Structures are given as structure tokens and as C-alpha cells.
Amino acid sequence: QKEVEQDPGPLSVPEGAIVSLNCTYSNSAFQYFMWYRQYSRKGPELLMYTYSSGNKEDGRFTAQVDKSSKYISLFIRDSQPSDSATYLCAMSAPRGFNKFYFGSGTKLNVKP
């Protein structure tokens, strides 16, 4: 079983739609949760960063963490064609070597 599971998609939505992206994980030691956006042939770009449980909002993006269910989400409101990319979730534990565990990424296509 992988440490982090993520639906690969692709997910295709019309412009203006609300997008929901999700990851599940198995290691209860994870405390730091991240979402990265990766455009084709580019490196991942840090989009959202959350510590422990709760919500964090930044513009059109909202990250949610539910540690009891080992489930994290990224919501994109008023999606734009420029949001078309692969979204990677990542997480790490607070102690020792900070190895980051990545999901396989969900490819999102926002149609004009």
C-alpha cells in the first residue's frame, strides 16, 4: 500500500466550476500537508501549506485536512483555464528526517 493515494484523473471541468481534489494517507504521523501545482514539463510549485487539521484559504484556493479520516482536500473556486495542471499532494512528519511523501498527482483540465 502506498503511503499517499491520489486519484490520477484526468478531471475535466468547465470554466467557473468548483474543483475538488483529494488525497488519502495511511501514516498517522504526518502533520504537514502541502499541495503543489505542476504545469507540463515544469517543476512543482508550492500552492498551499497546512499544519495539522483544519482549513486554510488563499484567494480561490482552500485546503482542508481531516486527520481523523486521514483525508486532505484542495478546493478551487471559480476555476480558470490557467488552473489546468497536475496537482500533487504531499505530506511529512515532524520528527527526524523530513522525507516528503507525494501523491501521484491529479491532472486537471479547465475548459473555456
Partner 1 sequence: DTGVSQDPRHKITKRGQNVTFRCDPISEHNRLYWYRQTLGQGPEFLTYFQNEAQLEKSRLLSDRFSAERPKGSFSTLEIQRTEQGDSAMYLCASSAGGSGEKLFFGSGTQLSVL
Footprint of partner 1 on this chain (CB under 8 A)? 4, 6, 8, 31-32, 34, 36, 41-46, 49, 51, 88, 90, 92, 94, 97-100, 102-105
In the bound complex, what is the minimum distance in angstroms from residue 10's beta carbon to partner 1? 11
Question: Which C-beta is closer to partner 1: that of 17 or that of 102?
Answer: 102
What is the residue whose three cell numbers read 510549485?
45
- Say how far apart CA 53 and CA 12 lie, in whole Å: 28
> At its nearest, how many Å lie between partner 1 and the CB of residue 15?
25
Question: What SS3 state is found at 79?
Answer: coil
Assigned C-alpha cell, 6: 491520489
